Chain A
Amino acid sequence: MANLALILIGWMTAASLSMWLLPERFRNDYFAAVSAIFLFYIAPASALWLLLGTLLVYAYMHGPVSHAVGRPLLLVALFALAFLAGREVTSSPDAALFAPWGEERLIALSGIAYYTCRQIHLVLDFWTGRLPPIALRTLLHYQFFGPTLFVGPIHRFQPFAAQLPQRRFDAERLFQGGERVLIGLVFAVVIGGYAFDYRLRALLPESATGFFGLWLVSALDWIILYFRFAGYSSVAIGLAAMAGLRIEENFNLPFLARDLADFWLRWHMTLSQWCRDYVFKPVLALTRRPVPAVLAALIVLGLWHELSLYYFLWGIWQALGIVLSRFASRRLEAWGVILPDNPGAQLLRFACIFSWLTLAQPMIKTIFGGAV
């Protein structure tokens, strides 16, 4: 099991290095093909669904021209349902049927959380006229882009496609990418995985179940999540740089945010931007009121993590935090209270944000008990 993560990085590094030896016109095809072979090897069911989904998007883009909402809505619903069902399959023992590697059944539909968002982005951007019909080859280059298949970021098509024709060997970028992969692995595996998840978690008392115990677990989870996810995102961004492409950042020092809304614009940025564009803005346009729009966006953000009552309530909690922090800032401004830009004020901001984030789990579990 352990070796597969290293094989992924080794495979992608080898793919990047060998790609530069090929004539320019074959490079994009080669890299997509090598990525697809890896996904077919690791998670065949996931690779087949991604291929089928890409063909469906292609058929939609090149089908009869229509501005009706029916077809895009049907595709979005299909992709979203497949994602939710796929996750259930992935976590059930039957998943072994899809990936015959015993313990490695967890990876049966690996990457579906990320490429589903990319598929929905393609469909909705095409429907709203922000994307022209795309050639199948380019769609495959985008969807079977190895570095971002497993851990995101949810990169957008437009900046990706703009770089494809200008993909050139750049030694500096290659080394910078390699260094980013290394630092990302240290963050994710050594600090987040070993130091916090493996060592520090073992120090927590077994009976950490009361409100304070749940809070401790929640606080540790957020710290681990940051190191792991920011680290894996760095690995993906580094691998993409080695392959000659610049993709979107996923984290921008989130714990230095000014408030909770700012935090969600700095944490898993590609997902929060996706929620902003495809949930928040449409709901805002329909209702003309920001509160339901924030609520809808944060509930979708929560359910993206897991389809459960807990994450539904978690989304409501985060939305409530954003609404309250905006209300508080306005009141403070009205009273002429302005927080200075010094370390003390930053520490206060961090304490407020971190408290709200880490209190979600103990509050929900204490109030709803066994129901979540």
Chain B
Amino acid sequence: MTPMLRFLHSFFPRGFALILLALLYSALILAILITFESTEDATMLYWNG
């Protein structure tokens, strides 16, 4: 069980927590992809040399 699932499961039943987690993951992935696209962020590859 991941920390986020454990957190959601402390408020909701397991099945519902899993659905919420899937929605949350999708939203986060979408936010990351949109941000990558708009800022052309690639600092990870040359972070401080």
Task: Check if A228 is an interface residue, CB within 8 A of chain B.
Answer: yes
When chains A and B are docked, how far (Å) is the Cα of A26 from the Cα of B20? 38
Given contacts A179-B2, A189-B41, A228-B43, contact A109 B32 (CB under 8 A): no
Min CB–CB distance B24 → chain A (angstroms): 9
Chain B interface SS verdict (over half): helix
Task: Check if A294 is an interface residue, CB within 8 A of chain B.
Answer: no
Interface mask (B1-19 → A, CB under 8 Å = 1, otherwise 0): 1111000000000000000
Task: Check if A316 is an interface residue, CB within 8 A of chain B.
Answer: no
Collect the chain A residues with CB atoms within 8 Å of residue B49's CB: 83, 86-87, 90, 109-113
Interface residues of A in 73-110 (CB under 8 A from B): 83, 86-87, 90, 104, 106-107, 109-110
Q: Are B40 and A110 in contact (CB under 8 A)?
A: no
Collect the chain B residues with CB atoms within 8 Å of residue A150's CB: 44-47
Q: Are A2 and B47 in contact (CB under 8 A)?
A: no
Task: Check if A235 is an interface residue, CB within 8 A of chain B.
Answer: yes
Q: Are A179 and B47 in contact (CB under 8 A)?
A: no
Collect the chain B residues with CB atoms within 8 Å of residue A106's CB: 45-46
When chains A and B are docked, how far (Å) is the Cα of A110 from the Cα of B43? 11
When chains A and B are docked, how far (Å) is the Cα of A287 from the Cα of B36? 50
Min CB–CB distance A271 → chain B (angstroms): 10
Interface residues of A in 176-200 (CB under 8 A from B): 176, 178-179, 182-183, 185-186, 188-190, 193-194, 197-198
Given contacts A176-B2, A186-B32, contact A232 B47 (CB under 8 A): yes
Q: Are B40 and A1 in contact (CB under 8 A)?
A: yes
When chains A and B are docked, how far (Å) is the Cα of A169 from the Cα of B46? 31
Q: Which residue of B lies closest to A149 (CB)?
A: B45
Collect the chain B residues with CB atoms within 8 Å of residue A235's CB: 44
Min CB–CB distance B2 → chain A (angstroms): 4
Interface mask (B27-42 → A, CB under 8 Å = 1, otherwise 0): 0110110011111111
The size bracket of the interface on B is 20 to 34
Q: Are A190 and B31 in contact (CB under 8 A)?
A: yes
Of A4-12, A129-137, A325-333, A340-348, the one touching chain B: A4-12
Min CB–CB distance B47 → chain A (angstroms): 5
Query: Given A107, A175, A189, A197, which contacts B46 in the complex, CB threshold below 8 Å?
Result: A107
Task: Check if A37 is an interface residue, CB within 8 A of chain B.
Answer: no
Task: Check if A206 is an interface residue, CB within 8 A of chain B.
Answer: no
Q: Are B45 and A179 in contact (CB under 8 A)?
A: no
Collect the chain A residues with CB atoms within 8 Å of residue B43's CB: 5, 188, 193, 228, 232
Query: Given B3, B39, B45, B46, which contacts A176 in the complex, CB threshold below 8 Å?
Result: B3
Q: Which residue of A lies closest to B47 (CB)?
A: A151
Task: Check if A144 is an interface residue, CB within 8 A of chain B.
Answer: no
Collect the chain B residues with CB atoms within 8 Å of residue A229's CB: 47
Q: Are A8 and B44 in contact (CB under 8 A)?
A: yes
Collect the chain A residues with CB atoms within 8 Å of residue B46's CB: 90, 106-107, 110, 150
Chain B residues in contact with chain A, CB under 8 A? 1-4, 25, 28-29, 31-32, 35-49
A-B contact pairs, 17 of them (CB 8 A): A3-B42, A4-B42, A6-B36, A83-B49, A110-B45, A151-B44, A151-B47, A182-B29, A186-B32, A189-B32, A190-B31, A190-B32, A194-B35, A194-B39, A198-B38, A198-B39, A305-B48
Ranked 5 nearest A-B pairs via Cβ: A113-B49, A5-B44, A179-B2, A106-B46, A2-B40
